[in-house]
Structure 1
């Protein structure tokens, strides 16, 4: 009889914990077309693999213990694409998924487990922030222990999907992550719009303060954007498929899809011969990479530079590529931040880097200087000099100035080639004529033409190859094959594709 009563009591406690914030709140979410926390978990992990930790946790405040199932955070492990993964999911139906000392303890345990055991860590975030009554006053603040809470050494990948309102730790875990996808309608900020309005006297709404467009287009904190909960979770699963489970192993190798490499002849027409004619570099990457494998990162931010995970010959690579469709391919301050952040990702998780180069230099002017472009250029160079994964550079057309170095020139890459259409120099010869001789084509057409011919001399890919500034000059059609061969030559065979991770402690969020 006692055992039966114990079993009944256990089932009652389990049902209460699984009930989340109650039927009324769950029904309201369902009517709005928004998944609840356990539905999100079920979508993320492979069926039947979730092992929950902390189901019976509640608020440490006695008055709240019966209304805080799992203390607002669903935590545990499960398989994602067949690999064990740690998981922290916020339950907005329980006090707005606000954080207390207990839920913080749960989250700390999962973060530690992921790093210690070599598992990716996924956050499904939606929160009002800290649970205010718990932290008010000196005792509330003094009880905290934040020493290592947000130290990132990138032992294993972190990915975050952001849904709805995200304040407090939901924000911190998002900006710490290696990948963050924002569902449309999301608002993420340090503090809520109401608090900001009261503190500043300035009326702001959520979208203006930290809406998904702000973070996708302006701050660059959103690596991807999704229309629905389901799409956001699918993007997390896809991102993790490119990465190793931890930094001690190489990324997974997959079967090469049928048709990969079959479109190489298109490269001769996709990229116009005239260096002033624009084209979309993203189409070039689709041809060079394995069929259907290009996965853009920060696609809406710093658009003159493309950063994307992809596969070439079944292996994960990270593309950094100029895109003449935007600003003529000129690299601005945002693009510098984007490149540096991507180098950190690749170096931390043993992903070779491939530069596809067609750029007129760094964007100059008042706005550029006020956006600290000089410092960002050197941050990029500092990061690049510490990258220990293989780096391959392919120069397509124009390649000028300091950006020549940042984009894998001057010996900063392990393998480099130029298309036969490449033009390399300190600056655009047309600009150089004006700088050196102070003349324009309109005022002195004959002298301008003569001086331009002088400035443009010795700037072909063959001239760079003559001094071994590149290792080969290639037909555009051979680009994919060149990358494959170069990666085979430089894939850190002695260490099974695992680098030194010198950038693993690089600060997050630019």
Structure 2
């Protein structure tokens, strides 16, 4: 009996016969589909309207059924919502419209209504309202092939992203899956899979983007997350990495867990790729709704008076410069309704980044955190702030800087980490922000860190300082030791320190027009609200 090669050779000159000869099972499958189609046509001709509507209801049930009962049970046992449940939680009640719901896995006869192996081809796509604004939403279905992407599902996503770009709707991806389905993309045709990355880049430039890590996200989904504005992760069930444990084991022989390579300890605290670690699916989806109020069309309406005074700030911020305090208390004191949406709270904690609002105007916040490494700038915090400023520039958010910074960290480790390069990139990012920039100096601002956190020379629209703030190339004690050298006496150092401190007064900078004003701490909110309006933020 001839092998496949012999059969194919015997069918030379007839490509159709050659294909069937090489894959003999296909002929039987295609014959069954043709027979099924013929029966459907005959039956449809004799159907009443009630029968046709009943057929439609059954059709929708099958294609909205998610994966197997076993997969759905496993999903529920892990405390996870199904894809359509996530959609319902995220979107305003009754507002979601699904697109391409009946789509199925590639290679299936579209006329057949048998139970699909991959309902929706493993992804639900559509448009809904989130806090009143239209949003394009994609939800991976982890109960279908573990969320692995099929070619039909990829087309659904591509169509939705194009709609988002054309209409200007924010795009939310609820991710739970690996890269492309190997069965459909292992051959040379996989050379075209990168088209999705190009679209993602266009999408990020055009509209606010969210990539929620709600399951195992290895390969392609991890790259989509890296190209998104906001990346929340669900603790315990969400994992994010370039490759999963099986691929790493096959390639390197190392045995690693999903949590080790892609859990919160790695991707939030370590790399800073994750912006927020949620306790469960509901918490994750609620955070997305909040994020979109800062970057979308819904806005942040408030009844909080713009001229509200904040007298408690003098109790929050310690008078002694070496005593730490929590900058988050300051931010919640001056922002609308005390609301601050912090991003990357577990990463580079010596600098705070996040979103807030002044008098209803959404803004980006960059602030020193004196109770972590005294608020010093280092490599990780420089990258964190630079990436955040890129987000503010893309989404056209004004930026408000709160400075209480002793400078950039110095030493051998800093040089090995390339601190000079990262500091330079941060300066470029600050100067490159073309939205309104408001800067406040609370207690101190020394050296290059003054520029890196919104100094006047970096294009700040308004710069203010609190009374007693110190501004200079370095702190007065360090300046005295540097100038006098190691042979100076204690008395000489003390006198020089006092002399240099007097030269760092904010009143001197204001007198030379390098500051716009020296303000009382209690009036900080009122001053920032007015400055944003004057800078054209409203």
TM-score, normalised to structure 2, is 0.86
Superposed displacement of residue 146, structure 1: 5.0
The corresponding residue for 2:530 is 485
Counterpart residue number, 1:449: 494
1:120 paired to 2:170: yes
Q: CA deviation at 1:86?
A: 0.2
Counterpart check, 1:163 vs 2:214 = yes
Instruction: Return the structure number with greater relative CO, CA threshold 8 A, min gap 6.
Output: 1
Aligned position for 2:460: 413
1:464 aligns with 509
Aligned 1:27-426 pairs, distance under 5 A? 27-62=73-108, 66-141=116-191, 145-146=195-196, 148-152=198-202, 153-185=204-236, 186-245=238-297, 252-257=299-304, 264-411=310-457, 412-426=459-473
Cα pair 2:197 2:224 within 8 Å, conserved: no
CA separation in 2, counterparts of 1:491 and 1:14?
51
2:74 counterpart SS class:
helix
Over the aligned positions, Cα root-mean-square deviation in angstroms equals 2.0
Q: Structure 1 38/194 Cα, relative in aligned 2: closer, same or farther at 3 Å? A: same
Q: CA deviation at 1:147?
A: 7.0
Structure 1: distance between partners of 2:193 and 2:491 = 78
Alpha-carbon distance change, 10 to 383 in structure 1, aligned in 2, over 3 angstroms: same
| Equivalent residues of 1:160, 1:236 under 8 A apart | no
Gaps of 5+ in 1: 246-250, 498-510
Aligned to 1:14: 60
Question: Runs in 1 of length 4+ with deviation above 6 angstroms?
Answer: none
Structure whose CA Rg is larger: 2
Task: Choose between structure 1 and 2: higher helix proportion.
Answer: 2
User: Residue 140 of structure 1: CA displacement?
Assistant: 3.6
Deviation of the 1:261 alpha carbon: 6.8
Name the stretch that deviates more: 271-280 or 429-438. 429-438
Q: Provide Cα deviations, 1:135-175, integer angstroms capped at 9, x if missing partner.
A: 11223435764572332452210112211211123212211
Is the 2:331–2:338 Cα contact (8 Å) retained in structure 1? Answer: no
Q: Please state whether the residue corresponding to 1:417 is helix, strand or coil.
A: strand
Q: Does 1:475 align with 2:526?
A: no
Relative to 1, partners in 2 of residues 1:184 and 1:261: Cα closer, same or farther, differing over 3 Å? Answer: farther
Q: Is the 8 A contact 1:261 1:287 kept in 2?
A: no
Unaligned runs of 5+ in 2: 1-45
- Looking at structure 1, the residues matched to 407 and 243 of structure 2 have their Cα atoms a distance apart, in angstroms, of 38
Is 1:361–1:427's contact at 8 Å kept on the other side of the alignment? yes
SS of residue paired to 1:52: strand
1:32 is displaced (CA, Å) by: 2.6
Residue by residue, what CA displacement relative to the aligned partner does 1:191-237 show, whole Å, maximum 9, x if unpaired?
11121122112221111111122111011011111111000000000
CA distance, structure 1, for counterparts of residue 184 and residue 412 of structure 2: 47
SS in 2 for 1:456: helix
Contact map agreement 1:439 1:448 (CA 8 A) in 2: no
Match of 2:32 in 1: none
**Alignment partners' CA distance in 2, 1:155 and 1:87:** 16
Task: Work out whether residues 58 and 65 of structure 1, in 8 Å CA contact, stay in contact via their aligned partners in 2.
Answer: no
Distance 1:356 1:96, change over 3 A: same
Shift of 1:448: 1.4
Matched position secondary structure for 1:151: helix
8 Å contact from structure 1 (residues 433, 439) kept in 2: no
Q: How many aligned positions are there?
A: 485
Residue 424 (structure 1) shift: 0.3
Q: Which moved more, 1:96-105 or 1:342-351?
A: 342-351
What is the distance in 2 between the residues matched to 1:155 and 1:289? 28
CA positional deviation for 1:243: 1.4
Matched residue of 1:296: which SS? strand
